[in-house]
Amino acid sequence: MVIALRQAMQEGDFAARLRLADHASQPQLAEIFNELMATMDIQDRVWQRDRRLWQATLDAAPVAIWVKDLAGRYVLVNQRAKISLGESCLGQTDSELMSAELSASERQDDRNVLLGQPRLPDVVKRNIKFAVLDADGQPMAVCGVEGDFEDGRVG
């Protein structure tokens, strides 16, 4: 059973389980656990590296970029977005960062975007918004890009 579990884990099948009543396999179970922890450590380092890469890329953009979760909390922002929203905007909602009137308008825009109506830039609001979809094609976030979109140029 332990050998089958190890094989499943190596093949990426993390749904495999070991019966807890199999006490004879405790040393093997400890070895598998340690291998799993080592794999998770490697994956965490890769995730951290990728996160830094994405953040550096976003921060270099000449526009403000932000992502809000379905509850309207800012979960990802670049440096230009922090200039307009504030350094401590992560985890906060528009109602915590803006006037009631502007917050209500932004939330309605977000709802429309989540219903499949992406927002294109106009003269008044210099941003575009679009839904970020999960693996099943369902909206999981709203992304906004704010900048000068005149004459087809961005900046």
Q: Is residue 38 located within the same domain as residue 73?
A: no
Q: Is residue 45 located within the same domain as residue 84?
A: no
Please write down the long-range contacts of 54-58, taking CB distance under 8 Å and 24 or more positions apart. none
Q: Is residue 10 located within the same domain as residue 46?
A: yes
Between 24-28, 50-54, 104-108, the lowest mean confidence (pLDDT) is in 24-28
pLDDT, tens only, 140-151: 999 999 887 665
Q: Is residue 45 located within the same domain as residue 115?
A: no
**What is the domain extent for residue 142?**
62-152
Say whether pLDDT at 28 is over 80. no
Q: Is residue 66 located within the same domain as residue 51?
A: no
Q: Is residue 86 located within the same domain as residue 105?
A: yes
Q: Is residue 70 located within the same domain as residue 28?
A: no
Contact residues for 37 (Cβ-Cβ < 8 A; gap 6+)? none
How many domains, in total, are found in the chain? 2
pLDDT, tens only, 57-111: 999 999 999 999 999 999 999 999 999 999 999 999 999 999 999 999 999 999 9
Q: Is residue 28 located within the same domain as residue 77?
A: no
Q: How far apart are CA 33 and CA 47, in angstroms?
A: 21
Q: Is residue 50 located within the same domain as residue 69?
A: no
Q: How far apart are CA 129 and CA 110, in angstroms?
A: 8
